[in-house]
Amino acid sequence: MAILTVDNLKKDYGVIKALKGVSFSVPTGCVFGILGPNGSGKTTLLGIIMNVLKATSGTYKLFDEAATDAHRKKIGTLLETPNFYHYLSAVQNLKITAAIKGLGEEDIDNVLQTVDLLQRKHSPFSSYSLGMKQRLAIGAALLGNPDVLVFDEPTNGLDPVGIAEIRSLIKTLSSKGKTIIMASHLLDEVEKVCTHVAILKKGDLLAFGSVKEVFEQNDIVQVEATDRNALKSLLMQLNNYNSLEEINGIIEIGYNAGQANLTAINKFCFDNGIVLSHLQLKKSNFESKFLELTN
């Protein structure tokens, strides 16, 4: 079952097109990252899904059905800066949140245990670090034990320790079977916690699928020889490569992952009268693939 299915979703603000016909689906049990720079349409997309904004056109489904408020009540959300009373404790704030949601108070301690705040449950919110405040906000989203969670930039504004805490918490929630949809502008965040991704840029969907599929890391072979021009001409006779370019004085040959054969390249060059002074295999990194997609 798809938790979320988006079909040709568009959102216009006058002449500004925030979403330009976005379509993708979110499978059950994944950590789905909506990745893109600020202004790419991530928050707009989540706002439409949670009925904070209205789409200009297009449709979306929740749990394979036309979305209703009843479906949204099954989703825990953190879409903006948490709005807690600074002079109240974690327990007191969560009791208020539970009452607003029409929920009981029976799972508050379990929620606080999950977000590692049980020992500080009676401390005032004002005494919390930024990371602790964000964990409490995630705790509020967990009230009612929803199977699906939606987070907008959950590590935004946190220091490295706070970021690590939130990422660890997301992994823990995922291991418990939660489906998590999270918007982020941080490539590192998606790489470390997400199983699936949709990449947005200025309202356009550039790619979506499993992180492995979207960011498949290609093989790059670096070669050098005394006569670089002759080497480059010879290498163009090779089979099955995807790219061949000179970067900072080094020739780089691109192959699909697992397709590069250094022994064959070395033999081919030697048999044709060129002795290589440098031959090295490297994997294209996550960041390079992202820049390739977004540029």
pLDDT at 290: 79
First to last CA, the chain: 33
pLDDT at 1: 82
CA distances from 118 to 59, 91, 159, 289 (A): 41, 9, 22, 41
Q: Closest by alpha carbon to 73, among 57, 55, 95, 51?
A: 51
Burial tier of 201 (Cβ tally within 10 Å: 0-12, 13-18, 19+): middle
Q: What percent of the chain has pLDDT over 90?
A: 74
pLDDT at 217: 72
Dump pLDDT digits (tens) for 28-77.
999 999 999 888 999 999 999 999 999 999 999 999 999 999 999 999 99
Cβ count near 147 (within 10 Å): 15
If you average pLDDT over every residue of the chain, what do you get? 91
pLDDT at 239: 86
Q: pLDDT confidence of 116, banded at 50, 70, 90?
A: very high
Dump pLDDT digits (tens) for 233-274.
999 999 889 889 888 889 999 888 788 899 999 999 999 999
Structure tokens at 135: 């964990």
Burial tier of 21 (Cβ tally within 10 Å: 0-12, 13-18, 19+): middle
Q: pLDDT confidence of 219, banded at 50, 70, 90?
A: confident
pLDDT at 216: 75
**How many C-alpha atoms does 260 have within 13 Å on its Cβ side?**
24
The 196-201 sheet, strands edge to edge: 75-78, 148-152, 179-184, 31-35, 196-201, 204-210
Question: What's the CA dihedral at 95, 142, 49, 64 to 10 degrees?
Answer: -130
Dump pLDDT digits (tens) for 171-187.
999 999 999 999 998 88
Domains of the chain from N-terminus onward: 2-214 (3.40.50.300), 219-294 (3.30.70.100)
Dump pLDDT digits (tens) for 224-239.
999 999 999 999 999 8
Per mean pLDDT, which range of 69-73, 76-80, 213-217 is the poorest?
213-217
